């Protein structure tokens, strides 16, 4: 997961019109895809050959309970309907993360902390979501990787639970996604080893690593985690490792 700044997108709102089902607007979908280099905001899977599923981060029509976790029961049958055509509630999602696939898929889930208030149409109450938001940098900083596995980059028990729940619901632990993420991790490890063993290939190694941690690369957050875990400081100083 990489941080997605919504502000550059929101300045384009006028071009999307004001239709009721705004998330179906083709220009909006195109802008969302370009903004994240055609990648899912949750999994970083490339959306090659896929439609453009614009996910409502807070579900628009109903809210279903996820396992034993708390949720906004007051609007279970209607969802956060007042956010249906609000672009700040939109996230670009792949089919793995957006639809029920295997053991994961976001669907209409939006679990909350046990101590959370419920958000209302008037916005007078606050919620404490368990799902990590790719548009919140502090959330993005909580999640990392070790090989193909999703891990928490924090010792806080509540935040660790948020990482676990997010990895499940966003389907980041899907076997196919994990297998592809593992390939990225292994390739980064291999390049680091080549860098440390062969003086001649240092420039080429840095060039390859820069491509893998670049925002347009699939699973670039995993590549960054691997660099941070194993690379010497002289590699790290040459790369942009900001999430």
Domain boundaries, the chain: 7-135+156-173, 176-236
With 0-12 / 13-18 / 19 or more C-beta atoms within 10 angstroms meaning exposed / middle / buried, residue 21 is: exposed
For the chain, the 3-state helix, strand and coil shares in percent, each to the nearest 5, are 45, 10, 50
Q: What's the confidence (pLDDT) of residue 52?
A: 80
Q: What's the confidence (pLDDT) of residue 123?
A: 79
Rounded to an integer, the average pLDDT of 84-106 is: 89
21 alpha carbon, distance to own chain's centre: 23
Q: What's the confidence (pLDDT) of residue 102?
A: 72
* pLDDT value at 103 more than 80: no
Local confidence band at 19 (pLDDT 50, 70, 90 cut-offs): confident
In our burial notation (b when 16+ CB lie closer than 10 A, e otherwise), range 125-139 reads eebebbbbbbbeeeb
Q: What's the confidence (pLDDT) of residue 100?
A: 77
Rounded to an integer, the average pLDDT of 45-57 is: 89
- Contact in structure between 212 and 187 (CB atoms under 8 Å): yes
Q: What is the CA radius of gyration of the chain?
A: 19
Rounded to an integer, the average pLDDT of 86-90 is: 95
Query: pLDDT tens for residues 163-200?
Result: 999 999 999 999 999 999 999 999 999 999 999 997 66
Higher pLDDT, 59 or 99: 59
Query: What pairs with residue 144 in β-bridges?
Result: 151
Q: What's the confidence (pLDDT) of residue 194?
A: 94
* pLDDT value at 132 more than 70: yes
Local confidence band at 54 (pLDDT 50, 70, 90 cut-offs): very high
pTM for this prediction: 0.94
Higher pLDDT, 125 or 236: 236
CA dist., res. 181 & res. 150, Å (int): 10
Q: What's the confidence (pLDDT) of residue 53?
A: 87
201 alpha carbon, distance to own chain's centre: 33
* pLDDT value at 3 more than 70: yes
Share of the chain above pLDDT 90, in %: 86
Of 233, 145, 144, nearest to 186 (Cα)? 145
CA dist., res. 223 & res. 65, Å (int): 34
Of 145, 143, 164, nearest to 154 (Cα)? 143
With 0-12 / 13-18 / 19 or more C-beta atoms within 10 angstroms meaning exposed / middle / buried, residue 6 is: middle
Share of the chain above pLDDT 70, in %: 99
Residues 219, 4, 63, 142: what is their CA dihedral angle, to the nearest 10 degrees? Answer: 70
Q: What's the confidence (pLDDT) of residue 199?
A: 65
Local confidence band at 111 (pLDDT 50, 70, 90 cut-offs): very high
């Amino acid at each position: 997961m990489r941080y997605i700044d919504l502000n550059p997108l929101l300045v384009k709102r006028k071009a999307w019109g004001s239709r009721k089902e705004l998330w179906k607007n083709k220009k909006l979908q195109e802008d969302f895809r370009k903004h994240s280099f055609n990648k899912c905001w949750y999994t970083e899977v490339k959306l090659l050959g896929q439609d453009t599923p614009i996910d409502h981060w807070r579900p628009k029509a109903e809210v279903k309970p996820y396992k034993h976790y708390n949720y906004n029961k007051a609007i279970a049958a209607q969802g956060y309907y007042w956010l249906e055509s609000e672009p700040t509630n939109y996230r670009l999602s792949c089919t793995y993360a957006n639809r029920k696939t295997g053991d994961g898929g976001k669907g209409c889930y939006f679990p909350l902390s046990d101590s959370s208030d419920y958000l209302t149409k008037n916005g007078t109450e606050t919620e404490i979501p368990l799902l990590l938001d790719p548009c919140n940098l502090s959330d993005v900083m909580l999640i990392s990787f070790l090989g193909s596995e999703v891990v928490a980059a924090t010792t806080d028990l509540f935040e660790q639970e948020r990482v676990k729940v997010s990895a499940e619901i966003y389907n980041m632990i899907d076997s196919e996604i994990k297998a592809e993420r593992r390939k990225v991790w292994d390739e980064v490890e291999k390049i680091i080893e080549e860098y440390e063993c062969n003086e001649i290939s240092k420039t080429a190694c840095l060039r390859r690593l820069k491509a893998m941690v670049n925002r347009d690369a699939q699973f670039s957050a995993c590549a960054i985690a691997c660099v941070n875990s194993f690379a010497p400081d002289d590699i790290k100083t040459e790369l942009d490792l900001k999430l």
